[in-house]
Amino acid sequence: MNRIFSISIGLVSALLIGFFLLLIGSMIAEFYSESIVKTPEYSEILFAIKLSLWTATIASITAILVSLPVAYVFSRYSFWGKNIFDTILDLPIVLSPIAIGAMLLIFFNTSLGRQIERLFGPFVFEVRGIILAQFIVVVGLSIRLLKETFSGIDVEYENLARTLGCNQFQVFFRVVFPIALKGIIAAFLLVWGRAMGEFGATVTLAGATTMKTETVPVAIYLNFESVDISSAIIFISILIAVSMGVLFFVRKIDTYVG
């Protein structure tokens, strides 16, 4: 029976890994097939990469900065409506990105939304919209990851620091933050990788304009739409490389930090 169990779980694992390798292999085979004749536009590729790196980095840093105090509050304090508010903050994790983008688009069509655009500049069909869409999509994930990080820190460390005369700010920045640093860096990398791959909310709010709001995922969509398979495969390969790099560093975070 033990042998059957071991074979079964090994077979399922091998099939799943094999399926992913098959997807990558089919993409490589398609790239080198004779049916692909269009030369990739390297200026477009560079633009999409730069825009994705820029917007994902800003959105991820902002998400982490906002999430730090929120996650700490939800991991340490009890208050009325905590479960309800926690559920609301988790919505971006499970809600369709297209629905998030549509909600943002509707919001900017209200009087308050138009006033915000007058103060900070336009968001709809602009790069600002990309950053905002990415931020809203990843902030729920950011809060969840940081909350788990803070929850894993023994509260006795904080209590001990308070008995030694530290105030709340000192306790957080001198005790909690250094202990949570690895988790914070890991959370940032995962959030950043998710922001790099964001498509639904971005294309709904900021549109899909070549050389303007063209992030890497948007470029994949545009190139498939124009039947430029070779360029689309290049963009897909970029996202795969970024994703694998992020996951690699997250797994090695204990080695590189501390």
Confidence of residue 255 (pLDDT cuts 50, 70, 90): low
What's the confidence (pLDDT) of residue 199?
Answer: 92
Q: Which residue has the tokens 């998710």?
A: 194
Q: How many residues does the chain have?
A: 258
Domain boundaries of the chain, sorted by first residue? 1-33, 40-256
pLDDT digits (tens, 9 = 90+) for 20-41: 888 888 877 777 775 555 656 7
Which amino acid makes up residue 205?
L
Q: Which CATH superfamily is domain 40-256 in?
A: MetI-like (1.10.3720.10)
What's the confidence (pLDDT) of residue 65?
Answer: 96
Positive/negative CA dihedral, 101, 106, 110, 114 = positive
234, 70 in Cβ contact below 8 A? no
What's the confidence (pLDDT) of residue 136?
Answer: 95
Contacts of 28 (CB under 8 A, 6+ apart): none
Taking 70 as the threshold, does the pLDDT of residue 247 lie above it? yes
- Quickly list H helices, the chain: 2-31, 42-76, 82-94, 97-107, 111-120, 127-151, 155-163, 168-171, 177-196, 200-205, 216-225, 229-251, 253-256
pLDDT digits (tens, 9 = 90+) for 91-119: 999 999 999 999 999 999 999 989 999 99
Taking 60 as the threshold, does the pLDDT of residue 149 lie above it? yes
